[in-house]
Amino acid sequence: MSSAFALAHAFTAHWEGGLVDHPADPGGITRYGVSFRWVQDLADEARQRCLRQARRCPSCSLRGTSRCQAFALDMDMDGDIDADDIRACTREQAAALFKTHFWDALSCQDLPLPLAVVLYDGAVNMGPARAVRQLQQALNLVGEARLDHFTPLEEDGLMGPLTLEMARTMAESDLHDYTARQVLRQRDAFYRELAARRPSMQVFLRGWRNRVAALGQYLARLEREN
């Protein structure tokens, strides 16, 4: 486990907590941030990849091995993927899933640390596309205001080479901490808009905003220590 990932996940793991099954949460039963809906989506994606490769579970030589794309999702090891897998999920399994599907998938290891931390936590909490889009919005805002030479990014929610290059430019210009704070402002505004648009989400608003404030404090601590 890289030290950067460990720093990012330490914050996220603290805020994701244990077993939760709130009736207003569209993700369904959740443990350590791993929701049933997310695991179902990952399982469906794995099945579609297998179908495209002409593999079928009953006869597949990878079935039940670590090379199987659905292997890590069967957390209670009973041969299927259901809500019991969420109940059985351990902290270590949650961390491994998050590292694969958020940290590694979004190339967080290639970002300056404060931007990696805010992107990772946002991806876990809101989904990767929205988290990347908020990062791109912040990069554009800061780039337009602070850089002498600036080409706006397309705010498409995809982590590509131009987004990574712009993030590194912010670090070279000593603007990475400031940009991270702008990401948090984008995130706070999204939560307030979501709660206003969907009244059933109001119950989560205070917790969401507290998490944003706590992440700002965590980033300030990292800035002092690095």
pLDDT digits (tens, 9 = 90+) for 20-55: 998 888 889 999 999 999 999 998 887 787 666 665
Facing residues of 31 across strands?
Answer: 19, 34
Q: How far apart are CA 124 and CA 13, in angstroms?
A: 10
Query: Across residues 171-193, what is the average pLDDT?
Result: 97
Domain parsing of the chain, residue ranges:
18-104, 108-225
Of 55, 60, 89, the residue nearest 74 (C-alpha) = 89
pLDDT of residue 201 exceeding 70, the answer is yes
- Number of neighbours of residue 18 by Cβ within 10 angstroms: 10
Tell me the three state secondary structure of residue 31: strand
Question: What average pLDDT does the structure give for the chain?
Answer: 91
Facing residues of 34 across strands?
Answer: 31
Kindly give, in sequence order, each residue whose CB lies less than 8 Å from that of residue 46, ignoring residues fewer than 6 positions away: 69, 70, 73
- Number of neighbours of residue 169 by Cβ within 10 angstroms: 19
Q: Residue 109: what pLDDT?
A: 97
